[in-house]
Amino acid sequence: MSDKLVGAKRQTALKELHGWSEVLERDAIRKTYHFPNFPAAWGFMSQVALLAERADHHPEWFNDMGRVEVILYTRTVDGVTQADVDFAHRLDQIAPVHDR
């Protein structure tokens, strides 16, 4: 199991991520991806769903037309871990170029 990222380790890990921010209400990170239309957004979500199943690390998300908001945290520790940061990097690799 991963430990919560705190202090300098957390700040260093989050600086590596483009466009991700901390969720103020709880210990999680968030990013919104933008797509030209609903099918493109759904396609991204389908790819993420397959990654999530393989990694056994499932995001919270919201889809509205061409926008997909993703929230990551590790449920077992109720906070952000290295697994969340690694998963965020993987999402950015498959995201549209303007959201990387």
Check residue 1 and give its pLDDT. Answer: 58
Residue-level pLDDT at 25: 92
What does the alpha-carbon distance between residue 96 and residue 31 come to, in Å, rounded to a whole number? 13
What sign results for the dihedral spanned by CA atoms 26, 76, 13, 11?
positive
- Residue at 42 is within a domain: yes
- Is 39 domain-assigned? yes
β-pair partners for 31: 70
pTM for the full predicted model = 0.91
Residue type, 40: A
Give me the mean pLDDT over the 76-94 stretch.
95
- Please name every residue paired with 63 in a beta bridge, in sequence order, or none if there are none: 68
Q: Residue 1 domain-assigned?
A: no
Expressed as residue numbers, the domain containing 81 is 7-99
Q: Please give the tally of structural domains in the chain.
A: 1
Residue 81: pLDDT over 70: yes
Domain membership of residue 75 (yes or no) is yes
Q: So what's the pLDDT on residue 98?
A: 81
CATH number at residue 55: 3.30.1360.20
pLDDT at 97 over 90: no
What gap in Å lies between CA 57 and CA 73, rounded to an integer?
9
Is pLDDT of 4 > 90? yes
In this predicted structure, what is the pLDDT of residue 47? 96
* pLDDT tens-digit map of 18-52: 999 999 899 999 999 999 999 999 999 999 999 99
Q: 3-state class of 24 per DSSP?
A: coil
Asked if residue 84 is part of any domain, the answer here is yes
Over residues 64-90, mean pLDDT: 95
C-alpha to C-alpha distance for 76 and 3, rounded to whole angstroms? 9
